[in-house]
């Protein structure tokens, strides 16, 4: 049985994987991380194989820890993939040398675990790299370049892994490719919105809220599923319209959804609700972040109202979202749901009714 072989030869596999890694890199800045990460991954492989793959949650958690350690050491995405590839190569080589049998099912589980580990480590490393860029307060151009580089680099890396045929497009690596391509698209739209706002150029037209939400739903449901979240969209009444720049409103709503996905607890619920009154249309996004810390509601409310609190309080995404809504004559509000989450609401003025039009 493969799991027995792994358990009995853990030290030999670790040493061989480390030697394979040493031959493909310069320096030894990540030796300590490899010493911890490789044995941990092998232990989780043993348990996953022993229990027919039911230990993948632990593999994902271990991969995130390993990705965080490699981020601190400055490793690249390519190095992360090589680390796990070296483990797989070491297992295969040692099994061949000792004539240890590997069944087709065991080899499939091994590849699936490798897929989960690569996706988890790359995702965590990319997330921490993005956060560090924001915390360091880099120049605007540098921050934009870094923001594009992270998801684009992760997408290219996932493509390279898929191209080898070692894992299937339907696994975690394929999901990671799709997520990062969507992130690139989102960043492009946000950047374009910021350019339009800075230039003072808008293209205002009558927009159907139901049609706009239906377009957003496609990517939003995919992102929610990838994050193990539930997204619900309330039934939308046809004929509710606003006079806005369609691109700016799409960016503003999508930003609220992406924030809700990012901060909601695993297996949490995100809701998108639309309501209207005589004067305005409200677009609300509720999350399950657990509620806001003390003082945060007041800080966010002041920042969304533009009362002397800027980018640091909102973050780049919400700052652009607020600017989009303000440019179209609307406002963004926030309310806390203690112990559950919070809700951000976009309020936009309704156009004056024409003769015979119901409000």
How far is it, in rounded angstroms, from Cα 135 to Cα 128? Answer: 10
Considering the domain architecture, whether residues 49 and 106 belong to the same structural domain is answered as yes
Considering the domain architecture, whether residues 129 and 216 belong to the same structural domain is answered as no
Which segments in the chain show pLDDT lower than 70?
Answer: 21-38, 49, 51-62, 66, 70-71, 73-77, 130, 132-156, 166, 168, 170, 175, 177, 179-180, 308-313, 353-359
109 part of a folded domain: yes
User: Which of 53-56's residues contact partners 24+ apart within 8 Å by CB, and which partners?
Assistant: 53/109, 53/112, 53/113, 56/112, 56/113, 56/116
Question: Read out DSSP for 81-147?
Answer: HHHHHHHHHHHHHHHHHTT----HHHHHHHHHHHHHHHHHHHHHHHHHHHHHHHHTT--HHHHHHHH
356 part of a folded domain: no
pLDDT at 260: 94
Considering the domain architecture, whether residues 32 and 53 belong to the same structural domain is answered as yes
How far is it, in rounded angstroms, from Cα 70 to Cα 122? Answer: 10
**Neighbour count for residue 335 (Cβ, 10 Å):** 14
Domain that holds residue 62: 2-194
Considering the domain architecture, whether residues 176 and 31 belong to the same structural domain is answered as yes
Considering the domain architecture, whether residues 150 and 279 belong to the same structural domain is answered as no
Among the listed residues 254, 269, 250, the one whose alpha carbon sits nearest the alpha carbon of residue 208: 250
The interaxial angle of helices 104-135 and 140-163, nearest 10 deg, is 170
199 part of a folded domain: no
Distance of alpha carbon 315 from the chain centroid: 16
Provide the token pair at 168: 């299937």
200 part of a folded domain: no
Considering the domain architecture, whether residues 263 and 170 belong to the same structural domain is answered as no
354 part of a folded domain: no
Which of 194, 214, 241 is the last residue in one of the domains? 194
- Here the CATH number for the domain that contains residue 215 is 3.30.565.10
112 part of a folded domain: yes
Considering the domain architecture, whether residues 63 and 210 belong to the same structural domain is answered as no
Considering the domain architecture, whether residues 105 and 26 belong to the same structural domain is answered as yes
201 part of a folded domain: no
Contact 147, 187 (CB under 8 A): yes
Question: Read out DSSP for 216-238?
Answer: HHHHHHHHHHHTT-EEEEPPPPT
359 part of a folded domain: no
Cα–Cα distances in Å, from 131 out to 127, 189, 342? Answer: 6, 20, 22
Considering the domain architecture, whether residues 59 and 124 belong to the same structural domain is answered as yes
Structure confidence by residue, pLDDT tens digits, 334-356? 999 999 999 999 999 998 766 55
**Neighbour count for residue 292 (Cβ, 10 Å):** 18
Which of 194, 225, 244 is the last residue in one of the domains? 194
Which of 135, 166, 194 is the last residue in one of the domains? 194
**Which residues, including other chains, have CB under 8 Å from residue 122's CB and lie 6 or more apart?**
67, 77, 80, 81, 154, 157, 158, 176
Contact 67, 120 (CB under 8 A): yes
Considering the domain architecture, whether residues 66 and 127 belong to the same structural domain is answered as yes
**Neighbour count for residue 337 (Cβ, 10 Å):** 15
How far is it, in rounded angstroms, from Cα 192 to Cα 251? Answer: 10
Considering the domain architecture, whether residues 153 and 265 belong to the same structural domain is answered as no
How far is it, in rounded angstroms, from Cα 345 to Cα 291? Answer: 16
How far is it, in rounded angstroms, from Cα 236 to Cα 88? Answer: 50
Q: In 164-241, where does DSSP find H-type helix?
A: 172-199, 209-226
Considering the domain architecture, whether residues 228 and 252 belong to the same structural domain is answered as yes
For the chain, the domain total comes to 2
pLDDT at 333: 95
Contact 251, 194 (CB under 8 A): no
- Give 247: exposed, middle or buried? Use CB within 10 Å, 0-12, 13-18, 19+: middle
């Amino acid at each position: 049985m493969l799991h027995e072989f792994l358990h009995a030869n853990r030290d030999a596999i670790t040493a061989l994987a480390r030697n394979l890694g040493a031959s493909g890199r310069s320096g030894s800045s990540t030796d300590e991380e490899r010493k911890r990460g490789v044995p941990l991954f092998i232990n989780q492989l043993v348990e996953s194989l022993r229990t027919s793959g039911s230990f993948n949650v632990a593999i994902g958690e271990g991969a995130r820890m390993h990705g965080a350690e490699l981020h601190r050491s400055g490793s690249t995405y390519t190095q992360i993939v090589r680390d796990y590839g070296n483990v797989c190569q070491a297992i295969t080589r040692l099994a061949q040398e000792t004539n240890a049998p590997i069944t087709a099912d065991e080899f499939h589980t091994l590849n699936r675990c490798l897929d989960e580990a690569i996706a988890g480590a790359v995702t965590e490393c990319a997330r921490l790299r993005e956060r560090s860029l924001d915390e360091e307060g880099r120049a605007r151009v540098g921050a934009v370049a870094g923001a594009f580089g992270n998801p684009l680099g992760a997408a290219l890396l996932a493509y390279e892994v898929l191209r080898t045929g070692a894992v299937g497009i339907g696994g975690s690596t394929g999901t990671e490719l799709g997520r990062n391509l969507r992130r690139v698209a989102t960043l492009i739209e946000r950047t374009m919105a910021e350019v339009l706002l800075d230039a003072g150029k808008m293209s205002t037209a009558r927009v159907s809220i139901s049609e706009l939400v239906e377009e957003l739903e496609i990517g939003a449901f995919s992102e929610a599923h990838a994050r193990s979240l539930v997204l619900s969209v309330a039934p939308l009444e046809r004929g509710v319209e606003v006079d806005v720049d369609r691109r700016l409103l799409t960016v503003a709503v999508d930003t609220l959804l992406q924030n809700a996905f990012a901060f909601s607890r695993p297996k949490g619920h995100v809701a998108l609700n639309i309501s209207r009154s005589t004067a305005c249309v409200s677009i609300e996004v509720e999350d399950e972040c657990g509620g806001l810390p003390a003082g945060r509601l007041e800080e966010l409310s002041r920042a969304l109202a533009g009362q002397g609190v800027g980018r640091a309080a909102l973050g780049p995404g919400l700052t652009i979202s607020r600017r989009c809504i303000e440019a179209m004559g609307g406002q963004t509000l926030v309310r806390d749901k203690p112990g559950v989450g919070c809700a951000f609401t976009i309020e936009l003025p309704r156009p004056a009714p024409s003769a015979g039009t119901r409000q």
